[in-house]
C-alpha cells in the first residue's frame, strides 16, 4: 500500500497522492512544513497539511498570478511579493525585462531554505541580483510602505494561521498606500466550490478601494477543486484593455495573451460572487 498524503480540502472531501519519500517533515516557528517526493507530481511542498506547490503543476499558478498583472501594467519596474517563499512567482516576474527590483517578503525563512534545496526548478531565481528577500510579516511590511511599488502580488497561504491578516480590508488599504498612483495588485483568492464566501468578501473589500476590480481563474489540479481564483485591484489600468503590442515574448507553459483575456470570462456561479 505504501505511504499516501491526503489533503482534506473540506471536512468531507480531499485529494490523496502516493508518496515515494518524505524528504522533510518539521514544525517551523509558524507552520508545519513537509516536502514530499510524490509519484504523480514530483516534489511537493505542504504547509499545515495543504498543498502549496508541486514540481509538475506549479507553472500554472506562478505564470497566472504574475503575468496577468505584469502585462496589464505598462512598465512595471518595482514589484513586491508577499509570501511566495517557494520562489515560483519571483521566477516569473524576472522574465519581464522592465523589472528593476523584485522584493519578496515571507514570514518563514524555512520555506525559502527547503524550497531552494528540494524545489530548484521553482526557487532557482531567489538568488538573482534583481531580487531582495526579506523574512518578515507581510502585514507589518505593507504597513510601513508608501507609494513604492508598481505591482504587488500576494502569494500567501490560506487565511488561517500566519496569513489570516492578509485577507483583511485593512491589509488591502495598506496595499493601496504601498502602490504607486497607477499600481496594480493581485491576491490568490482560493476556490469557488469550497470558499465562495471568502471570494465574495475579498472581492467587495477590494472593490471598495480600487476603481478597477476583477476576478480571473486558472486550472490548478493539486489545489482544492482545481478551479482557482485571483482577485485584481488596479488604480487605473484595465486588464481587458491591454494593447496587442504590450505582450512581449516570454517563455511560458500556460499563460498566453489569448488566455490573459479569456481567464476573466467566469462561469455563472463564480461571476455571481462578484455582484
Ligand atoms: N501558491 C500557494 C497558495 O496559493 O496557497 C502559496 C505558496 S507560498 C509557499 C505561501 C507563503 O505564504 C508561505 O511561504 C508562508 O510562509 C507565507 N506567509 C504566510 N503568512 C504570511 C505573512 N503574514 N507574511 C508573509 N508571508 C506569509
List the CATH number of the domain containing 219: 3.40.50.150
Is 189 annotated to bind a ligand? Reply is no
Do 242 and 127 lie in a common domain?
A: yes
Q: Strand 101-106: give its sheet, edge to edge.
A: 131-135, 101-106, 78-83, 149-155, 179-188, 227-234, 212-219
Is 128 annotated to bind a ligand? Reply is no
Is 86 annotated to bind a ligand? Reply is yes
Give the pLDDT band of residue 160 (cuts 50, 70, 90).
Answer: confident
Is 125 annotated to bind a ligand? Reply is no
| Ligand 1 pocket, mutate which of 58, 89, 157 (most atoms under 8 A from CB) | 157
Do 121 and 200 lie in a common domain?
A: yes
Q: Which atom of ligand 1 lies nearest, measured to the CA of 89? A: 1
Do 76 and 128 lie in a common domain?
A: yes
Do 131 and 111 lie in a common domain?
A: yes
Q: Which atom of ligand 1 lies nearest, measured to the CA of 158? A: 5
13-38 pLDDT per residue, tens:
999 999 999 999 999 999 999 999 99
- Number of domains the chain is built from: 2
Domain that holds residue 40: 3-52
Give the pLDDT band of residue 162 (cuts 50, 70, 90).
Answer: confident
Distance between CA atoms of residues 20 and 39, nearest Å: 6
Please tell me the distance between residue 162's alpha carbon and the centre of ligand 1 in angstroms. Answer: 8
Q: Which cell goes with 155?
A: 502569494
Residue with CA closest to ligand 1 atom 20:
163
Q: Which cell goes with 120?
A: 530548484
Please tell me the distance between residue 138's alpha carbon and the centre of ligand 1 in angstroms. Answer: 9
| Ligand 1 pocket, mutate which of 86, 154, 163 (most atoms under 8 A from CB) | 163
- Contact 169/209 with Cβ under 8 angstroms? yes
Burial of residue 165 (CB within 10 Å: 0-12, 13-18, 19+) is middle
Percent of the chain whose pLDDT exceeds 70: 100
What is residue 273's DSSP assignment? G
Helix spans in 73-108 (H): 88-93
- 195-209: average pLDDT: 97
pTM given for the model: 0.97
Burial of residue 160 (CB within 10 Å: 0-12, 13-18, 19+) is exposed
33-82 pLDDT per residue, tens:
999 999 999 999 999 999 999 999 999 999 999 999 999 999 999 999 99
- Mean pLDDT of the residues in the chain: 97
Do 121 and 32 lie in a common domain?
A: no
Nearest alpha carbon to residue 228 among 187, 259, 257, 258: 187
Do 144 and 75 lie in a common domain?
A: yes
For residue 198, the model assigns a pLDDT of: 96
- 94-102: average pLDDT: 98
What are the DSSP calls for 138-206, one per residue? HHHHHHT--S-EEEEEEE---SSGGGGGGGSHHHHHHHHHHEEEEEEEEEE---TTT-HHHHHHHHHHH
CATH classification of the domain holding 29:
2.30.140.10
Do 165 and 259 lie in a common domain?
A: yes
Is 39 annotated to bind a ligand? Reply is no
Residue with CA closest to ligand 1 atom 21:
163
Do 20 and 154 lie in a common domain?
A: no
Tell me which residues have their CB closer than 6 angstroms to ligand 1. 52-53, 61, 82-86, 105-108, 111, 137-139, 155-157, 162-163, 166, 188
Query: Active-site residue numbers?
Result: 155
| Ramachandran assignment for 49, one of left (phi > 0), alpha (psi -120 to 50 degrees), beta (any other) | left
Do 83 and 17 lie in a common domain?
A: no
- Contact 255/67 with Cβ under 8 angstroms? yes
Do 77 and 147 lie in a common domain?
A: yes
Residue with CA closest to ligand 1 atom 19:
163
Do 9 and 92 lie in a common domain?
A: no
| Ligand 1 pocket, mutate which of 31, 45, 51, 83 (most atoms under 8 A from CB) | 83
Do 70 and 48 lie in a common domain?
A: no
Amino acid at each position: 500500500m505504501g505511504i499516501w498524503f491526503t489533503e482534506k480540502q473540506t471536512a468531507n472531501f480531499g485529494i490523496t497522492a502516493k508518496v515515494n519519500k518524505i524528504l522533510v517533515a518539521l514544525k517551523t516557528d509558524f507552520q508545519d512544513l513537509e516536502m514530499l517526493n510524490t509519484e504523480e507530481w514530483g516534489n511537493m511542498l505542504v504547509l499545515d497539511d495543504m498543498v502549496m506547490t508541486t514540481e509538475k503543476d506549479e507553472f500554472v499558478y506562478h505564470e497566472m498570478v504574475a503575468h496577468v498583472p505584469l502585462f496589464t501594467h505598462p512598465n512595471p519596474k518595482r514589484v513586491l511579493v508577499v509570501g511566495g517563499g517557494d520562489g515560483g512567482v519571483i521566477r516569473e516576474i524576472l522574465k519581464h525585462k522592465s523589472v528593476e527590483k523584485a522584493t519578496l517578503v515571507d514570514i518563514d525563512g524555512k520555506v525559502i531554505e527547503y524550497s531552494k534545496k528540494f524545489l530548484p526548478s521553482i526557487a532557482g531565481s531567489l538568488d538573482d541580483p534583481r531580487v531582495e528577500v526579506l523574512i518578515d510579516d507581510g502585514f507589518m511590511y505593507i504597513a510601513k510602505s508608501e507609494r513604492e511599488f508598481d505591482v504587488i502580488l500576494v502569494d500567501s497561504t490560506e487565511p488561517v494561521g500566519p496569513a489570516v491578516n492578509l485577507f483583511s480590508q485593512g491589509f488591502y488599504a495598506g496595499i493601496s498606500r504601498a502602490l504607486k498612483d497607477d499600481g496594480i495588485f493581485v491576491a490568490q483568492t482560493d476556490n469557488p466550490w469550497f470558499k465562495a464566501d471568502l471570494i465574495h468578501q475579498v472581492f467587495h473589500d477590494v472593490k471598495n478601494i480600487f476603481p478597477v476590480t476583477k476576478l480571473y481563474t486558472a486550472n490548478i489540479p493539486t489545489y482544492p477543486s482545481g478551479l482557482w481564483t485571483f482577485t485584481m485591484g488596479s488604480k487605473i489600468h484595465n486588464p481587458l484593455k491591454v494593447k496587442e503590442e504590450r505582450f512581449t515574448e516570454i517563455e511560458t507553459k500556460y499563460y498566453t495573451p489569448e488566455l490573459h483575456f479569456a481567464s476573466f470570462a467566469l462561469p455563472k456561479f463564480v461571476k455571481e460572487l462578484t455582484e
